[in-house]
C-alpha cells in the first residue's frame, strides 16, 4: 500500500496536461518528460524491452516465468491529465482515517469536499483519501492506473513464486483529447488482449461504452441595420438557437443516465453575421446513434429550406465506437477480470461507460480491451479524490488476473 501511494503522490505532481489545440503528437512536450521518467523507473524495477518511442508511448515486458502459459496479457493507462482544469503545480493532500467530515481543500476560495455534495465519500469512512488542495485537479485519471500497474509489475518481479505468462504494459499520451491510440502499434505490442486501468470507483468493470461523434455547425447570417432589417436580416445567433431547441431537451447529459444517449452542446460563439455551435453526440446503441446523427442532419436541412441553402453548414465526424461488439466474442476476458475481483474480496460492478477510453479504440484496432477501476472520483476538477485502499485493491486485481491468465 505504501508503494502504490508513494508512486501516485509522486506522479500526481508531474505536469502532464494535454492540449486539444496542439498540432503535435503528443500534444505537449511535458508528457515526454513523464514518459522518460516512467521508462527509467520500469528499467530499475527489472522489466525488459522498455521503450519510449517518438510519439511518447512507453512499453515494457515482464517475461513469462511459466513454460505452460500461452497467452500474453497487457495493461494500459494514460499519462496525460485533462485540459478541463489546471494540472500544473498539483499538490496532493493525504487524509488518513477519514471519518465522514467536510474536507476544506482551499479555505480562501471556499472549496470544500463535503459528503453533502458528494455522498460517495461516506463509503470510505476509516480509509485514507488523497485529495487536491482545491487549486488543481488531482490526476487520478489516470495516474492512479499507472501507479497500480507499476506497483503490480514490481510486486510480480519480486515474487517469482507467482506463476504467470508474458505481460506487456503500455502508457499512452493524449487520451484525454481523444488521440491516445492514434499511433499505438497493436502488432508490436504483442498482447492477445489487454485491460485499461482507467475506471472510476472500486469494483467497476466495463466492456461497453458510447458510440461517439462530434458536430460543428456554422450558421451564416445576414447583417443589416436594425432600423431597416424587416424581411432582410438573418440573425445567425437566433438561427443557431433554433437548432438547439429543435433537439429533444430531455436528451441532454443533465437528464440522462445508464444506457441513455444524449446531445451535448459544448460550444456557442457568434454574432449577427456568423455563429458557430459545437455538439458531441453519444449513444450505446449503434442504431440509435445513427438516428441521432440523422436527426441533426434533418434539422439543419430544414433550416436551410427556410432560410436559404447556404445558411447552415454541418460538419460531423465519428470519434469512437462501442467496444462491446469487439469484446463480446472473447467475453471470457471480462469473466477473468470478474473472477479476479471476486477472488480478492470485491463485488464487481459491471456497468456501461458513459464516455470512452483508450480501450474502446484499442478494441476496434484489434486488441480487445475492457476497462477496470483505478479508484478515483470526481475527475477533471478540484473535488477529485482517490482512496488509497481502492488503489491497493486494483493492484491485487492485476496480480490475480495475471495468475488466472497463466492458467488458461
Instruction: Please tell me whether residues 155 and 228 are part of one structural domain.
Output: no
Mean pLDDT score of the chain: 95
Q: Dihedral (C-alpha) 9, 14, 20, 23: value to the nearest 10 degrees?
A: -150
Tell me: do 45 and 162 sit in the same domain: yes
Co-location of 168 and 23 in the same domain: yes
Given a contact cutoff of 8 angstroms between Cβ atoms, the answer to whether 52 and 70 are in contact is no
Q: Quick one: 26 and 154 in the same domain?
A: yes
Residue 408, helix vs strand vs coil: coil
Q: What is the per-residue pLDDT across 286-295, written as a single tens digit (0 to 9) for each?
A: 999 999 999 9
Q: Are 264 and 279 in contact (CB under 8 A)?
A: yes
Residue that the C-alpha cell 453548414 belongs to: 313
Instruction: Quote the domain boundaries for residue 234.
Output: 211-320
| Number of neighbours of residue 102 by Cβ within 10 angstroms | 12
Q: Which long-range contacts (CB under 8 A, 24 or more apart) does 220-223 make?
A: 220/273, 220/274, 220/310, 220/311, 220/312, 220/313, 221/272, 221/273, 221/274, 221/275, 221/311, 222/273, 223/271, 223/272, 223/273
The 3-class SS string of 288-352 reads HHHHHHHHHHHHHHHHHHHHCCCCEEEEEEEEECCCHHHHHHHCHHHHHHHHHHHHCCCCCEECC
Q: Are residues 190 and 249 in the same domain?
A: no
Task: For residue 63, report the phi and psi dihedrals to the nearest 5 degrees.
Answer: -65, 155
Let me know whether 66 and 169 are in one domain: yes
Query: Based on the number of CB atoms within 10 Å of its own CB, is 254 exposed (0-12), middle (13-18) or buried (19 or more)?
Result: exposed
Note whether 295 and 270 are same-domain residues.
yes
Q: Which three cell numbers stand for residue 196?
A: 485499461
pLDDT tens digit sequence for 119-162: 999 999 999 999 999 999 999 999 999 999 999 999 999 999 99
Residues 141 and 239 in one domain: no
The pLDDT of residue 124 = 98
Half-sphere exposure of 373 (CA within 13 A, CB side): 30
Last residue in a domain, options 281, 303, 320: 320
Write the CATH number for 380. Answer: 3.40.630.10
Tell whether 204 and 127 lie within a shared domain. yes
Percent of the chain predicted with pLDDT > 90: 93
Residue 43, classed as helix, strand or coil, is helix
pLDDT of residue 199: 81
Peptide bond into 26 cis (omega under 30): yes
Q: Please, how many CA atoms are within 13 Å of residue 39, restricted to the half-sphere of its CB?
A: 16
Residue after which a domain boundary falls, among 320, 340, 364 = 320
Kindly give, in sequence order, each residue whose CB lies less than 8 Å from that of residue 241, ignoring residues fewer than 6 positions away. none
User: In whole angstroms, what is the distance from residue 390 CA to residue 145 CA?
Assistant: 11
Q: pLDDT at position 1, please? A: 64
How far is it, in rounded angstroms, from Cα 121 to Cα 190?
A: 40
Q: How many whole angstroms separate alpha carbon 78 and alpha carbon 318?
A: 22
Predicted local confidence at residue 116, as pLDDT: 96
**pTM score of the predicted model:** 0.90
Are 197 and 309 within one domain? no
- Cα maximum dimension of the chain: 86
Regarding whether 303 and 326 lie in a shared domain, the answer is no
Q: How many CA atoms lie within 13 A of 302 on its CB side?
A: 11
Could you say which residues of the chain have pLDDT below 50?
A: none
**Are residue 7 and residue 156 in the same domain, yes or no?**
yes
**Which residues form the catalytic set?**
80, 175
Question: What is the domain-level CATH number for residue 224?
Answer: 3.30.70.360
What span, in angstroms and rounded, lies between the C-alpha atoms of 38 and 146? 9
Domain edge (last residue) among 296, 320, 344: 320
Amino acid 355: pLDDT: 82
- What is the count of structural domains for the chain? 2
Amino acid at each position: 500500500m505504501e508503494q502504490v501511494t508513494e508512486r501516485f503522490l509522486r506522479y500526481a505532481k508531474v505536469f502532464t496536461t494535454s492540449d486539444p489545440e496542439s498540432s503535435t503528437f503528443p500534444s505537449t512536450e511535458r508528457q515526454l518528460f513523464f514518459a522518460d521518467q516512467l521508462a527509467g523507473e520500469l528499467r530499475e524495477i527489472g522489466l525488459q524491452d522498455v521503450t519510449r518511442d517518438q510519439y511518447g508511448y512507453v512499453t515494457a515486458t515482464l517475461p513469462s516465468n511459466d513454460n505452460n502459459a500461452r497467452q500474453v496479457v497487457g495493461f494500459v493507462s494514460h499519462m496525460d491529465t485533462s485540459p478541463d482544469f489546471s494540472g500544473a503545480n498539483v499538490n496532493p493532500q493525504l487524509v488518513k482515517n477519514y471519518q465522514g467530515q467536510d474536507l476544506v481543500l482551499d479555505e480562501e476560495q471556499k472549496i470544500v469536499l463535503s459528503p453533502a455534495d458528494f455522498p460517495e465519500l461516506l463509503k470510505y469512512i476509516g480509509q485514507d483519501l488523497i485529495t487536491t488542495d482545491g487549486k488543481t485537479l488531482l490526476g487520478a485519471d489516470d495516474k492512479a492506473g499507472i501507479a497500480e500497474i507499476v506497483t503490480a509489475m514490481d510486486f510480480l518481479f519480486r515474487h517469482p513464486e507467482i506463476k504467470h505468462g508474458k505481460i506487456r504494459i503500455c502508457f499512452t499520451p493524449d487520451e484525454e483529447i481523444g488521440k491516445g491510440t492514434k499511433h499505438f502499434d497493436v502488432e508490436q505490442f504483442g498482447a492477445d488482449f489487454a485491460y485499461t486501468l482507467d475506471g472510476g470507483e472500486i469494483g467497476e468493470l466495463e466492456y461497453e461504452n458510447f458510440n461517439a461523434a462530434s458536430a460543428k455547425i456554422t450558421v451564416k447570417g445576414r447583417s443589416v441595420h436594425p432600423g431597416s432589417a424587416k424581411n432582410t436580416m438573418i440573425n445567425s445567433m437566433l438561427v443557431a438557437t433554433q437548432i438547439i431547441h429543435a433537439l429533444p431537451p430531455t436528451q441532454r447529459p443533465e437528464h440522462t443516465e445508464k444506457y441513455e444517449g444524449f446531445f451535448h452542446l459544448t460550444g456557442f460563439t457568434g454574432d449577427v453575421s456568423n455563429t458557430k455551435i459545437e455538439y458531441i453526440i453519444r449513444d450505446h446503441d449503434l442504431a440509435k446513434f445513427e438516428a441521432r446523427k440523422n436527426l441533426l442532419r434533418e434539422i439543419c436541412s430544414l433550416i436551410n429550406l427556410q432560410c436559404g441553402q447556404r445558411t447552415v453548414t454541418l460538419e460531423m465526424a465519428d470519434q469512437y465506437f462501442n467496444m462491446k461488439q469487439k469484446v463480446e466474442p472473447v467475453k471470457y476476458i471480462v469473466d477473468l477480470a470478474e473472477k479476479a475481483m471476486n477472488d480478492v474480496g470485491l463485488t464487481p460492478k459491471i456497468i456501461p461507460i458513459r464516455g470512452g477510453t483508450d480501450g474502446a479504440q484499442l478494441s476496434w484496432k484489434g486488441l480487445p480491451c475492457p476497462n477496470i477501476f483505478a479508484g478515483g472520483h470526481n475527475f477533471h476538477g478540484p473535488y477529485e479524490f482517490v482512496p488509497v485502499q481502492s488503489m491497493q485493491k486494483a493492484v491485487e486485481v492485476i496480480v490475480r488476473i495475471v495468475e488466472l491468465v497463466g492458467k488458461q
